[in-house]
Amino acid sequence: MEPLDLSRARRVAPGLEAAALDHPVRSRLLLACARSERSLTELARELGQPLPKLHYHLGRLTACGLLKLSRIEARRGRPIRYYRAAAEAFLVSVADVGEFMGERLARELRRSLAEEANRRDLSLLHHLDEAGRFRVRLVDSEGRGRNSKSFEYWKVLRLSADQRLALAAEMGALITRYESAAETGGEAWLVHAAFAPKLED
């Protein structure tokens, strides 16, 4: 994977700037204004957020200078204000991040999976497959395969360095393919892919 060009990224200062950016809505709002100016109404439509909520987050970002008022368009009634991000990308020190966005999404994913797991019509079948490997499958009351909207898949693998890099590339490419083909107006899904060294035997 080629390294990213960080020359256009603004280094976010610790304190007020880092705190202002440490929120998923503010992060999305800021990046929506990174390449072109946006009005509050355009941002509300693009991000699917109510105007009062966006107005609050916009105030936090402009107060610390990460977002700037680019122009005011005069019209009858209230003028339209357009905003532009202070840079195209933002570099935040990990030490200044209160909570990674992935941790917030992971909590939501666990909640959603738990709601599915609490369904009385589903059971976990512990068994050995044809090769004698331990397996756990989600089945309905008739023993049929999963009848659930959620999906969770765990494996413990022994990988060489080359295999690990290949797996990461394939997982990333698969998710990117579905992201590119996603239909607008479809149902929102949390998709998580990860692997890390196993700490316990």
| pLDDT tens track for 153-189 | 777 888 999 999 999 999 988 888 887 776 666 777 7
Percentage of the chain lying above the pLDDT 70 cut: 82
CA angle 3, 7, 13 (to 5 degrees): 105
List the one residue out of 149, 153, 152, 154 whose CA is nearest residue 188: 149
Q: How many CB atoms sit inside 10 A of residue 97's CB?
A: 15
Does residue 56 surpass a pLDDT of 80?
A: yes
SS3 124: strand
pLDDT at 24: 80
Q: What is the mean pLDDT of residues 22-45?
A: 90
10 DSSP β-pair partners: 90
Domains defined along the chain, listed by start: 9-96 (1.10.10.10), 101-181 (no CATH)
Is the predicted pLDDT of residue 106 greater than 80, yes or no?
no
Between CA 145 and CA 141 the distance in angstroms is: 10
Q: Which residue has the higher pLDDT, 181 or 126?
A: 126
Q: How many helices (H) and strands (E) does the chain have?
A: 6, 7
CA 62 to the chain's CA centroid = 23
Encoded amino acid at 193, one letter = A
